[in-house]
A and B are shown apart, each in its own frame.
Chain A
Amino acid sequence: MFGFLKQVGDYTRDAVDAARNLTQGLSVTFDHMKRRPVTVQYPYEKLIPSERYRGRIHYEFDKCIACEVCVRVCPINLPVVDWVMNKETKKKELRNYSIDFGVCIFCGNCVEYCPTNCLSMTEEYELAAFDRHSLNYDNVALGRLPTSVTTDPSVQPLRELVYLPAGEVQPHGVSPDRSRAGKLPEQILEELKAAGSRKAAEDGRESSSSASNEEESAG
């Protein structure tokens, strides 16, 4: 008899728990209804890519020395460096350079290892094409600079979460002249410089100035 009553009691408690959890869940979903949509209305609004964004690769033909380091560091040896040896000058003569962005995985190894910095990453990510062969960019196409999201008059640029001012979670309606949360790289650099010069003044040693120079080049 008591076993049965205990069963009934347990069952009732379970049902009450379930009902409480359900109301808690309903209050969560109800609470979400008054929040602003996080939607970025894509062709009209675009997020500003971060400064480390690895987009389509930019290439400067005149800087290239046809060393083929980019080909060797590429996971699939993708860049095509078309050069001939000029017998008279005993120098490589570059004729064509191309990267197929239908195959590229945008790992950035070529950009990292390029000895003359003729390769760089842009913030372009809209690479859709009707034909996959048109994704094979030659040196002319690689030399074009993309339209920046911030300068395009038909686009409303929106900042990503980490680039928003402290306390803001929505990019909509945040004024562009409000700085992001935390210190900017150049502010950190200035502080380091100031600290370095102060230290140098205190110690009267030369070594600190070279340290700050190093940091400047790293920043």
Chain B
Amino acid sequence: MVTSLATTAPALVSPGLDLEQSFSQALEGFGLSAQAARMLWLPFPMLLVLVAAVVGVLVTVWLERKISAAVQQRVGPEYAGALGVLQPLADGLKLLVKEDIIPDRADSILFTLGPVLVVVPVILSWLIVPFGQNLLISDVGVGIFLWISLSSVQPIGLLMSGYASNNKYSLLGGLRAAAQSISYEIPLALAVLAVVMMSNSLSTVDIVNQQTGAGVLSWNIWRQPVGFLIFWICALAECERLPFDLPEAEEELVAGYQTEYSGMKFALFYLGSYINLVLSALLVSILYLGGWGFPIPVEWLASWLNQPIDAPLVQLITGTVGIVMTVLKAYLLVFIAILLRWTTPRVRIDQLLDLGWKFLLPLALVNLLVTAALKLAFPVAFGG
């Protein structure tokens, strides 16, 4: 599938920085075959994205602690590095060297498998996050659908670890996590479906390209304001962020499914939850806030400055701007999530399920139908 915008106005959309092509060309210049060059190229983006995800988590943890402190008029971490930037690293190191405890009479295989099942799909989902036209690991045709299906593997891991811990709090936490993830996945998928319907493609790159026509005005948030809210609420629920953090509600359930975990296994849960938060924020910015798009299209800026869009320097600048914009939008959403954490009280389990099934699901369905109707009525504005 090809976006309508890309076919109607190919000159406007910049081809973007294609690092893989340049790399392959350089290696083929040394006399390697195209396949060998590709084999050498493959690990680079994977490693880079893995490192980016982990560093993103460290930054998010630091931001969370500093912003939480500021909201409560505290100072927050201060002594580990300048302004406490090394605090998350210190936490991680501590967890790394802590004893790995498997409780007596716990199911050791499931207990070990649980955190892995939680983290792996989350990290795998970074496969489809684009930071630019060609700046992603793989432009999978079913991109966003892949993420939805991968994120539904997570509750299995949570339930597994909750059950295997042989602890009532863990079991309750695991069951809550499963119930919450399953009920919020449906409105989430419906909200995504409305966006997909407008861009005629499941690929994240196509979804962003469909929003690049007129800068900030062509972002999906103006065409899908309800979908944006539904998606954001559901993403918070999927990440178990504060208005919906029932699975680990520390006042009731000690720490939910994490109760019996320590050391590296706990670190995996911790890492997984924060990677998931950053990933959700990235996906919101991709689906609704124009992804790597600058508020004013860079193509316009280049033409005003009489610069050819294919020039290497311009490509480098647009690529950098794309990465910065994606990360900036994502971290703005992370900031809102942290602020929401200190603003909203935790909902009860019945309120949670009410909100999911009786409010978000009908709203998402209506949103989908309205989008379909608008697409038929105004194919120009809604990607006919």
Complex formed: what's the CA distance from A25 to B341 in Å? 11
A28 lies within 8 A of B74 (CB): no
Q: A4 at interface (Cβ–Cβ under 8 A)?
A: no
Distance to closest chain B CB from A5 (angstroms)? 15
A36 lies within 8 A of B359 (CB): no
Tell me the residues in window 27-65 of chain A with beta carbons closer than 8 Å to chain B beta carbons.
28-30, 32-33, 35-39, 41
B70 lies within 8 A of A33 (CB): yes
**A29-B359 in contact given A35-B73, A38-B73 (Cβ < 8 Å):** no
A33 lies within 8 A of B71 (CB): yes
User: Which of A29, A36, A38 lies in contact with B342, CB distance below 8 A?
Assistant: A29
Distance to closest chain B CB from A90 (angstroms)? 64
Q: A15 at interface (Cβ–Cβ under 8 A)?
A: yes
Complex formed: what's the CA distance from A125 to B70 in Å? 29
Number of A-B contacts (CB under 8 A): 34
**A32-B343 in contact given A15-B359, A39-B75 (Cβ < 8 Å):** no
User: Which of A29, A38, A39 lies in contact with B339, CB distance below 8 A?
Assistant: A29
Q: A22 at interface (Cβ–Cβ under 8 A)?
A: yes
Q: A67 at interface (Cβ–Cβ under 8 A)?
A: no
- B10-43 near A? 1/0 per residue, CB < 8 Å: 0000000000000000000000000000000000
Chain B residue with the shortest CB-CB distance to A27: B343
- B62-78 near A? 1/0 per residue, CB < 8 Å: 00000101111111000
Q: B344 at interface (Cβ–Cβ under 8 A)?
A: yes
Chain A residue with the shortest CB-CB distance to B342: A29
Chain A residue with the shortest CB-CB distance to B359: A15
Complex formed: what's the CA distance from A38 to B73 in Å? 6
Residues on B with C-beta less than 8 A from A25 are 343-344
A28 lies within 8 A of B343 (CB): yes
Q: B340 at interface (Cβ–Cβ under 8 A)?
A: yes
Chain A residue with the shortest CB-CB distance to B363: A15
Residues on A with C-beta less than 8 A from B67 are 33
A37 lies within 8 A of B340 (CB): no
Complex formed: what's the CA distance from A36 to B69 in Å? 11
B73 lies within 8 A of A29 (CB): no
Distance to closest chain B CB from A161 (angstroms)? 14
B344 lies within 8 A of A37 (CB): no
Residues on A with C-beta less than 8 A from B69 are 37
Distance to closest chain B CB from A53 (angstroms)? 25
Interface pairs (23), CB distance under 8 Å: A15-B359, A22-B344, A25-B343, A25-B344, A26-B339, A28-B343, A29-B71, A29-B339, A29-B343, A32-B70, A32-B71, A32-B73, A33-B67, A33-B70, A35-B73, A37-B69, A37-B70, A37-B74, A37-B75, A39-B73, A39-B74, A39-B75, A41-B75
| 5 A-B pairs with least C-beta separation | A25-B343, A33-B70, A29-B343, A37-B75, A39-B75
